[in-house]
Amino acid sequence: MSSGATDFEELLREALAPVEPPESLATRLESALVRATELAQEELESWELSAMRDPRNWVRPAAAVVVGAGAGTALVLLRARARHRAHPHRSSGLIDLAGRTLKDVAHEARRILPGR
């Protein structure tokens, strides 16, 4: 009976083994996030302030703000994570890691939001 349990445990280990995503996934995800951010920005730029008097016109700009903020945040986090993977042993402790993470997030946010 113990060999059946061992086989089951081995099957579980194989089934739950971590799988590295393909390299192209990060590139595709980043380009999709960039495109979503650009589309939201274009929608907000084409929006006219005079149209905001009617609350029925608030849906598209509100959706553009939500999509743009979400995609921009995800893009910043994705790029900061990529920087950490490129230099995994740079941090000497938890506080140093947190500081470097904040610095990387701020750097990527400045890249996405130039002039702000």
- Which position has the higher pLDDT, 106 or 66? 66
Of 61, 70, 66, 55, whose CA–CA distance to 43 is shortest? 61
Q: How far apart are CA 85 and CA 80, in angstroms?
A: 9
Of the pLDDT bands very low, low, confident and very high (cuts 50, 70, 90), residue 1 is very low
- Give per-residue pLDDT as tens, 40-95: 988 888 887 777 788 888 888 889 999 989 998 888 888 888 777 776 666 677 78
pTM for this predicted structure: 0.62
**Block residue for tokens 């995503």:** 21
